[in-house]
Amino acid sequence: MEISIAEFLKKVAGYVGGQIKIMDKQSCHIYCGETENISDTSIEKNYLEITFKWLARGEDGFPIPDQWIHEKCLSNTIFLPSYQASYYHGRLYLTSAHKTITFYPPGILRIHPGSVKERKE
């Protein structure tokens, strides 16, 4: 069900501690991580700042990766006017032409943090 960005912002606080999956269809990258904080960062509520407890990037396969590798960058900023918001089966979604961002409520694991491998430098 499509919802407004204002409705999305009211609901998203309940997803802190849950996981987020970010699929970038243009670059063929997929990320998943557990949220530590989610906040709107401007008076106009145009930006959403996400801080992760941990974040992993899918390797060797898109859209279903063979393995998950830890990422060093633990934050992501989203320009909300570029996205359509929706809510379906307890999950929040932000969708643009190239990205789909899925917010899972706490307690629902998309990937287990123990399955994430350290990045080889």
The mean per-residue pLDDT over the stretch 54-65 comes to: 87
Question: Residue 41 above 80 pLDDT?
Answer: no
Provide the domain count of the chain. 1
pLDDT number for residue 42: 66
Q: Are 115 and 68 in contact (CB under 8 A)?
A: yes
User: In which domain, by residue range, is 15 found?
Assistant: 2-117
Tell me which H or E stretch contains 20: strand 19-24
What's the mean pLDDT when you consider all of the chain?
A: 91
Tell me which H or E stretch contains 5: helix 5-12
Question: Residue 43 above 70 pLDDT?
Answer: no
* pLDDT band at residue 121 using 50, 70 and 90 as cut-offs: low
